[in-house]
Structure 1
């Protein structure tokens, strides 16, 4: 399916910023494209000051939750942190661990085993915790859907404080969906309808950070000390793919500075083992290098390994654990590649890609990578995708969606077919009986209102930018807008009719594309790299010029033709030499 290229047009917002903010016009254009149109918004974006973080007590029930933990600390009650096995759950647990340790609490933590307990609170575990003498449960990154489990804990005489960020569950009443929550002693979640917190898009670790901020305040600890926890929250904020705007931007921008100077032995060793020890760590490294290693333990063994790495003070233990995480992630990468290939084969054999919502079941897939595979399928077909595999008691899996399809809302309409589900508009987890899988597929597709236009891939371009304008100063302006991610994607620029005269197939498997692009009006050129467009370029080039011409070009490294490009510029450093280059995101033959 051919992509639709669209230039973002926020002329009014740009003109408003231009009149009132002294900043490079390119930067202001990008800010306007991100929905920032006020002077205050621009200043907050350009100068994400750590002191501008909101007061955690603005969160509904924060005062109640903190008072319960404060009273438990004073009276030496046993507290258990109840976390989750993904990166956000691990980091949230680490933040609360460090906070409770700081205030002198009598506590421990529990992270469910993915296969034995599954996501969220588990009734058997709650009974066991009660038997072990725990008085208070403090959740992080989970709990908002744990109705029966919270009810059991309360019946056993335990106090329950939920800290979570997932969407509030919905219940159909008289044909309308209304929000419902477990009857815990405190439910701290910025997405509560009755919560007036200014920012709704914190991840689980962001909520845990806020809880720590408020706990320190109530316990008389210097408020600035909670800021030491921001480096951990930054990892989750990137890895949980929440909007990198407003408060999240402050957390990540400042957290990255801390990570690059960290004293945490586990983070130091993780940087060493992943080859980042001499590099300036940025959001890419958090999302695609460090985060996946933290995630791999919960996928393939136990997430306790990742928690232990980040709380240990022992250098040798940190080194051993970092190596363990690295090896597990390498194994996870192999499993993902094999599983994705098998799922593509199954989808196309069963013609599921002709549905509006893909629902596919494969018993052989490791349940821990169902979400990654679902994400790959969503990218491949640009359709909402649910990948299910064999669970301990019943099939379970993960859903990943596209921008215009709220997977959480749509699954809510199929609640009767599932034993358990929860998530966000873009991602969800679910469990259901095997006989209900075809019924779920049928119902989701029957109620789906997606049109052909909805599922056509759209590439949003920030502005046309001819190659002759590119230099290191301009790239420095662009880099100043980092961190990039959801809500603040890497700016994309477009240029038409670029003459190419050199081609190289690079990489170990010769599966990457490098093109030399001539700069108009100058006796010079700039190289463009693509890591995923070689096959497409080959197809469209052969379609216009023929296979023989393409093969000769690859043999001689000389090529002719003109292309239109969507790109992101950066600076390549090699052997002490710095050159501007293009990262090619999309292309087509002119």
Structure 2
């Protein structure tokens, strides 16, 4: 059972409430998101495009733009090399479309997930040289490709890197880090040393968008022209699970506005195929509905399919590609479910369950699904998880972490085991010989400083708020807090000793529990729980007995009293509005 804790961050909530014209509950939530000071609160509540940082502040940005301008004018062949995930696909789309606007001689290449692995590689570099490419422009990759880009320079090509991943480094005995930056003519990455750009958490698509802003300014285009790609940068930011704080929050908030009135045939077709109305797309839909369709192309087929959907020039072509991506995602979901079952079985039936860092080897699993399966297993066990699969050249894998464990740092401690690795604190990718698998598992667990406390699931409650306090204006005010996502999660409320007056199970799969509950203050409200209803009923039966549960299910006055973690919303049914809570957890 997770531990429930109330966030106890302090501030003068009354003053913030009065100053910004918001409820004290909203003020508490903003403080819980570590938004401090008048300027930051103002930007959080009302940040807009004017609050974005100048692209020129990024190290090498001016240099990259100068090189591109010269190559465009001389009609030199530019090849964009991206990646096969959401961020990589959107980055390629942004750069390719923008360079075409500048009348550049540009094309693109995306590595094949199975044959090439992540990012720019020797095959793509040699192919570019053979085809007379003058300039390689990377996006969402390149910062870890020292050998590959050194080869590009040897073959006489100009190299521009745009990336957002951690810069690889060697650590000396005294702890000093020596950063290994590939030999490129320009490196645009806010995470590189000595880059003065004030916000470091941009995704690859956002870095590409910044480059386009700077390039369009140099080419004397109107500033608005670059904002055509805001929706793609926003999509990439959510799809790559970047923190929705600071500049990212503005990019996504404004980008969602653009996305909801998009003229892009591909995006319109994908929304329609998933039965999402334009005007109603939220960050959630990118993360859990639309984004996975783009990812499915790179996982099970080729990312070119997703890119061609975005580049489609008529409705029919776009609809065909959108249908393909939708179908691929359905297959991906089924394969993922099988993989998760196998992974859980392995943990439960072997000594793995004693490990603090789970390394699960599923040789027959589709390697592109390793990351998703790792994420699902992490949610179940609240531990860092690596899922490894058999590839053509040894073992490949992906990891998903918890907040108290930096995957990239920990992997750097045993990097001699890998043929290749890279990533973030929260996610990583790797390749290693099969004979190193067990050693990898042992080393990670020997080195780890994770404690039992780190491995306990924890739910942080923003505000312990009685149902009596919920109102329509408060719920509407919550819209100011969107978009929700990593580091700006949907607020969590809690109330205790709620009396269940009635309870019924609904839905085709019996996965909806609708209740009438009464607070200690006497407020009666509808409460809805989506999920494992059988487990919930077992919990009630175990705590209050079968008779009490039967009373509640027949609408009689039961003695069942529970605590709920919830989110309030306005329910609209047959044109009538009512307040209700969506139950996230119970005890």
When normalised by structure 2's length, the TM-score is 0.96
Distance 2:279 2:556 in 1: 32
CA offset at residue 570 of structure 1? 1.4
Greater displacement, 149-158 / 272-281? 272-281
Q: CA RMSD in A?
A: 1.8
Distance 2:547 2:367 in 1: 45
Match of 1:578 in 2: 577
Q: Is the 8 A contact 1:130 1:158 kept in 2?
A: yes
Look up the SS of the partner of 1:395 in the other structure.
strand
Look up the SS of the partner of 1:166 in the other structure.
coil
Q: Is the 8 A contact 2:162 2:207 kept in 1?
A: yes
CA offset at residue 526 of structure 1? 1.9
1:29-428 pair list within 5 angstroms = 29-176=28-175, 177-277=177-277, 280-428=280-428
Residue 30 (structure 2) pairs with residue 23 (structure 1): no
Distance 1:144 1:87 in 2: 18
Q: Is the 8 A contact 1:268 1:277 kept in 2?
A: no
Q: Is the 8 A contact 1:499 1:562 kept in 2?
A: yes
Match of 1:470 in 2: 470
Q: Is the 8 A contact 1:266 1:310 kept in 2?
A: yes
Match of 1:6 in 2: 5
Distance 2:549 2:439 in 1: 48
Look up the SS of the partner of 2:210 in the other structure.
helix
Q: Is the 8 A contact 2:58 2:195 kept in 1?
A: yes
CA offset at residue 115 of structure 1? 0.5
Distance 1:443 1:391 in 2: 22
Distance 1:279 1:75 in 2: 42
CA distance 1:532–1:138, change in 2 (3 Å): same
When normalised by structure 1's length, the TM-score is 0.96
Look up the SS of the partner of 2:585 in the other structure.
strand
Distance 2:556 2:206 in 1: 50
Look up the SS of the partner of 2:517 in the other structure.
strand
CA distance 1:535–1:453, change in 2 (3 Å): farther
When the two structures are aligned, how many residues end up with a matched partner?
586
Q: Is the 8 A contact 2:499 2:560 kept in 1?
A: yes
Distance 1:212 1:300 in 2: 30
CA offsets 1:314-356 (integer angstroms, 9 cap, x no match): 2110011111111111111111111111111111111312201
CA offset at residue 3 of structure 1? 1.4
Look up the SS of the partner of 1:503 in the other structure.
strand
Distance 1:328 1:85 in 2: 15
Q: Is the 8 A contact 2:91 2:139 kept in 1?
A: yes
Greater displacement, 249-258 / 551-560? 551-560
Structure 1, unaligned stretches of length 5 or more?
Answer: none
Q: Is the 8 A contact 2:6 2:461 kept in 1?
A: yes
CA offset at residue 541 of structure 1? 2.1
Greater displacement, 302-311 / 559-568? 559-568
Distance 2:267 2:340 in 1: 30
Task: Give structure 1 regions of 4+ aligned residues with deviation exceeding 4 angstroms.
Answer: 547-559
CA distance 1:32–1:181, change in 2 (3 Å): same
Look up the SS of the partner of 1:11 in the other structure.
coil
CA offset at residue 548 of structure 1? 6.2
Q: Is the 8 A contact 1:503 1:553 kept in 2?
A: yes
CA offset at residue 496 of structure 1? 0.9
CA offsets 1:201-244 (integer angstroms, 9 cap, x no match): 10110101001001111112112210111011111111111111
CA offset at residue 515 of structure 1? 2.7
Distance 1:50 1:270 in 2: 27
Look up the SS of the partner of 1:365 in the other structure.
coil
1:508-519 pair list within 5 angstroms = 508-519=508-519
Distance 1:503 1:579 in 2: 18
Q: Is the 8 A contact 2:260 2:278 kept in 1?
A: no
Match of 1:546 in 2: 545
Distance 1:113 1:296 in 2: 13
